[in-house]
Structure 1
């Protein structure tokens, strides 16, 4: 199964072409709905896949956290996605997916993994309200597979935000200083509700005005609207927007393509772009810089984000 995670350079090139590869997995057949949904996770975030090892139970864990496993001397928390998604299945999870998000390693228990599917971000759409409601907001995007099945991209950041302790440490926001040198307006794009909430809190603490969008395509459309308004007023786009903050993985248009479009358009050449991602591998950061990103900031580090913004705005 470890052969799933290979050819990193090739996958990095795919990302730069607005494409991605997702590892398909199942949580088993729900006894209530009799449905066996197909989920997907970006292979960039998967370190390895294995049969479930011995799990050490630990006290005072959130309900869906089964405990810890030792992987090459490191203790890794394990989240049971069946429990988290309230799927009632007769069979216990058989597979452990070991993932890395923003340098945090954790395992997800799933029923099975299938294969890797190559998708275009243009084919990956924001989930319709019916799907989003049925899955409790846990699905950040959907796409149709060649065999006509629907794959749901799970908002893993939401899972981690509700089972871990590194997303919403309120005391971190208390250390963020207001930016008072001038009035600032930013534009940001992120498909994760957890990430959008944390970005908004950070910018609110800095007293920065902002426009929030849910993917690169929506952010690009907003930029084009601003460009038209600026042209009509005889002004520069930078008179209206001081920076763009973008996630990497987003439906319809990813952050790499959004950054590339911004940096290749003379109207936006003076606007700094911050790439904000849980993809912590150096290859991803290098690709972001190659697309023209001015700064690469890790997700769920509000102090780093506020410091990076302050440096750019000064």
Structure 2
């Protein structure tokens, strides 16, 4: 237990400092890619794979690892490139995204680097492949591409994006159009999923591509004499975002007397003890793992209720179940 807590303490030192650690890897060729270390469980030589009939071509097979069966996705195929060959010579990065475990087949793993989120930028437009990137950065004067894994997973194994009808009662549907929800997320697929869920209930949505854009908007409102907490009863923010991450955005809001009463939900594909410790440290109101439309709907409906709207009995019962 002492070792686990020491690791938690070390990781949480990055919180509020707008920093992250990237595991660098390669597919075919010289291009370097990066993935947040928090999402990595382990790296190992590609084990023997068992092919799954009728599965996506991106899924090269499943591997039996530590008592579990894990799908192995070819990241080269997933990003529109030729499949990796001689896979037994390659490596698998075991990750946890959206409360799911999967492995990513890569040709080689380089190193772990510590970066500042200010040095992580949105992908350049017009490159022809920005559609699968969520961000880019530079290391030793070489471009590092950060893949939009949420987009890849949504294409390979689409998640349910529908909200249960019993949650959208007449009273909720009546109150929701009066409220505007703010979201910040650098993944295009994630923004689409969140917006679809909230609009299904009846809320209006204002979306930003990263934490810095969201922060600038909130400060502008405050400078105009508008209380952001009154305009947006809920801010739903991703954690991993270029220029300013969700932890830093939350910390900045909490340290600003004009903004510190905002209700903040950190909504992320990251999960585990590290993130719960970080959420507590920066002062977020709630933490929700992606992507669970009913859970997201429940969090926002509960907030709406606490603001004074009447919660119908059947929705209260649904939230308890």
Return the offset for 1:91: 4.1
Match of 1:28, SS state, is coil
- Residue aligning to 1:20: 20
Q: Structure 1: state its 5+ residue gaps.
A: 1-5, 30-35
Return the offset for 1:89: 6.6
**1:20-169 to 2 correspondences below 5 Å:** 20-29=20-29, 36-88=30-82, 91-93=85-87, 94-131=90-127, 134-145=128-139, 147-165=140-158, 167=159, 169=160
- Residue aligning to 2:252: 261
Return the offset for 1:7: 4.5
Quickly say closer, same or farther: Cα 1:108–1:87, change in 2 above 3 A.
Answer: same
Return the offset for 1:9: 3.5
Question: In the alignment, is the contact (CA less than 8 A) between 2:34 and 2:147 conserved in 1?
Answer: yes
Question: In the alignment, is the contact (CA less than 8 A) between 2:124 and 2:130 conserved in 1?
Answer: no
Corresponding position: 1:189 with 2:179: no
Return the offset for 1:223: 0.5
Return the offset for 1:88: 3.1
**1:219-298 to 2 correspondences below 5 Å:** 219-229=214-224, 231=225, 236-298=227-289
Question: In the alignment, is the contact (CA less than 8 A) between 1:188 and 1:211 conserved in 2?
Answer: yes
Quickly say closer, same or farther: Cα 1:286–1:212, change in 2 above 3 A.
Answer: same
Return the offset for 1:246: 0.5
Aligned length: 294
CA distance in 2, matches of 1:228, 1:172: 36
Quickly say closer, same or farther: Cα 1:12–1:238, change in 2 above 3 A.
Answer: closer
Quickly say closer, same or farther: Cα 1:67–1:110, change in 2 above 3 A.
Answer: same
CA distance in 2, matches of 1:219, 1:55: 43
Quickly say closer, same or farther: Cα 1:69–1:90, change in 2 above 3 A.
Answer: closer
Question: In the alignment, is the contact (CA less than 8 A) between 1:16 and 1:287 conserved in 2?
Answer: no
- Residue aligning to 2:206: 211
Return the offset for 1:122: 0.4
Match of 2:56, SS state, is coil
Return the offset for 1:288: 1.2
CA distance in 1, matches of 2:279, 2:154: 25
Deviations 1:126-146 (A, max 9, x none): 111033xx225111001111x
- Residue aligning to 1:3: none
Match of 1:151, SS state, is strand
Question: In the alignment, is the contact (CA less than 8 A) between 1:11 and 1:20 conserved in 2?
Answer: no
Return the offset for 1:289: 2.1
Deviations 1:34-92 (A, max 9, x none): xx211000000010101110101111101111121111111101101121123237743
Question: In the alignment, is the contact (CA less than 8 A) between 2:23 and 2:34 conserved in 1?
Answer: yes
Question: In the alignment, is the contact (CA less than 8 A) between 1:176 and 1:202 conserved in 2?
Answer: no
CA distance in 2, matches of 1:176, 1:128: 40
